[in-house]
């Protein structure tokens, strides 16, 4: 599942709600924000935890990769992402949330050969949900302001 849309529209909220339902149904779920995932992987390469971290990410029945982009991936990040996607392909479900439209993902990955391989395994068989609307944060702030005035 790929959930895209503007900032604050509810991509992460929806992804977490779906993950919670999956957990209640006995599905193993791993949630990773992309920036933190790459930080964890970098540290794990250095201190020897990479094989264990990699297994925990790839063995989950549902992997949620939250906040894809907008920073371009480094060579190491591309390789790590390719290994994760390849290991999970056909074995587990992956949910990705992003503010970026899918057509911009190729540029985020950076290297055309890796981008083609990664996106081929993710995008072509995915359900796509493109959210629209205003930021939920603005709505909540407005409701809070109105409630505090009464």
CATH at 145: 3.40.50.300
- pLDDT, residue 103, reads 92
Q: Is the pLDDT of residue 37 over 60?
A: yes
Q: What is the pLDDT of residues 86-145, one digit of tens each?
A: 999 999 999 999 999 999 999 999 999 999 999 999 998 899 999 998 887 776 555 556
Number of domains in the chain: 1
49, 43 Cβ separation under 8 angstroms: yes
No. of helices (H) and no. of strands (E), the chain? 7, 5
124 or 20: which leads in pLDDT: 20
Q: What is the pLDDT of residues 46-97, one digit of tens each?
A: 999 999 999 999 999 999 999 998 789 999 999 999 999 999 999 999 999 9
CA-based torsion, 66, 117, 108, 84: positive or negative: positive
Range of the domain at 67: 2-149
Which segments of 4-135 does DSSP mark as H helices, in order?
A: 11-24, 34-47, 50-59, 75-88, 105-109, 112-122
pTM of the model: 0.85
Distances in whole angstroms, Cα of residue 6 to Cα of each of 25, 56, 58, 67, 135 = 30, 30, 28, 11, 8
């Amino acid at each position: 599942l790929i959930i895209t849309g503007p900032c604050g529209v509810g991509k992460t909220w929806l992804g977490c709600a779906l993950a919670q339902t999956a957990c209640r149904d006995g599905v193993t779920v791993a949630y990773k924000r992309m920036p933190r995932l790459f930080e964890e992987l970098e540290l794990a390469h250095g201190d020897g935890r990479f094989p264990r971290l990699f297994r925990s990410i790839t063995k989950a029945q549902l992997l949620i990769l939250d906040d894809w982009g907008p920073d371009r991936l480094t060579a190491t990040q591309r390789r790590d992402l390719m290994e994760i996607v390849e290991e999970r392909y056909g074995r587990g479900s992956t949910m990705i949330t992003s503010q970026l439209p899918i057509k911009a993902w190729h540029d985020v990955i950076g290297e055309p050969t890796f981008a083609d391989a990664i996106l081929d395994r993710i995008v072509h068989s995915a359900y796509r949900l493109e959210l629209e609307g205003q930021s939920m944060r603005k709505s909540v702030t407005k409701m809070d302001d109105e409630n505090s005035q009464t």
